[in-house]
Amino acid sequence: MNDNSEMIAAISVAVSGSEREHRVLLQSIVDTARVIFGAKASSIFLVNEEHGDLVFEAVSGEGEKVLVGRRFPATRGIAGWALNARDALIVDDLSTSTVFARDIAESTSYVPGSLMAVPLIHDDEALGVLEVLDPHPQARAGIDELALLTLFASQAAVALRIVQRNRYARRVLDGTGAEFGDLISIVSALAGGDAGRRQAGLRLIGSLHDLLIDNQA
């Protein structure tokens, strides 16, 4: 294994490990939200960068064994509304809601009667949505629902951002990040060359770096 392959392998392990850790964090967030609100279920969705849909990233309660990885349009339902409006929404009776996408709920085999949703925003970017389904009325009494949802959302947004960046890094490492394809080829060629060629290449890259930094200043 050459130096370049070892470097890529090491970075791949780091990226994979980091994503696993933050997926555990996402799961703990939905588990805790479900318990605190006495809810039937809680879910976190992430906007997929490739197709723009919302994808189930973590589920607690109803549907947790089958829903992770499923997707639906980011313009549909309560989750889609919260994402695009960048605002929380609490609906106590979904039978009267004009936003609720009942067909999507039926496709998951669980149709809630009430729902709370909050967008997950990081650095002014809407990354996804946190939902709490069928929260128990007694569990909701005496707590500031929006404040608590916002607290959960801030933690989930940070974890989602890291998962999103890790997946992007994975695509680059795999050579599927199209805009970095040429750069990956150059780095690979330099790593496989002799010492003189590597040093010349590194000097060229250093000059390009300085040029770009000067232009941004």
**Model confidence pLDDT, tens digit, residues 73-116:** 999 999 999 999 999 999 999 999 999 999 999 999 899 999 99
Strands 71-72 and 54-61: antiparallel
pLDDT for 14: 47
CB burial readout 159-183, b (16+ within 10 A) else e: bbbbbbebbebbebbeeeeeeeeee
Domain ranges of the chain: 3-169, 178-214
Cβ contact 36:60 at 8 Å: no
- Which three-class secondary structure state does DSSP give residue 49? coil
DSSP state of 38: T
Confidence at residue 40, expressed as pLDDT on a 0 to 100 scale: 96
Instruction: Report pLDDT digits (tens) over 157-169.
Output: 888 887 777 777 6
Q: Across all residues in the chain, what is the average pLDDT?
A: 79
Contact between 149 and 116 under an 8 Å Cβ cutoff? The reply is yes
Q: Are 162 and 22 in contact (CB under 8 A)?
A: yes
Q: How far apart are the first and last CA of the chain?
A: 40
The two counts, helices (H) then strands (E), for the chain are 7, 6
Cα distance between residue 43 and residue 61, in whole Å: 9
In this prediction, residue 15 carries a pLDDT of 46
Tokens of residue 79, six digits: 């989750």
CA 80 to chain CA mean position, Å: 15
pLDDT confidence of residue 13:
47
pLDDT reported for residue 148: 85
CATH number attached to the domain at 3-169: 3.30.450.40
Q: Could you tell me how many residues make up the chain? A: 217
* Residues of the chain predicted below pLDDT 70: 1-19, 139-143, 169-198, 201-202, 204-206, 208-217
Which amino acid would we find at residue 124?
A: D
CA distance 137 to 183: 56
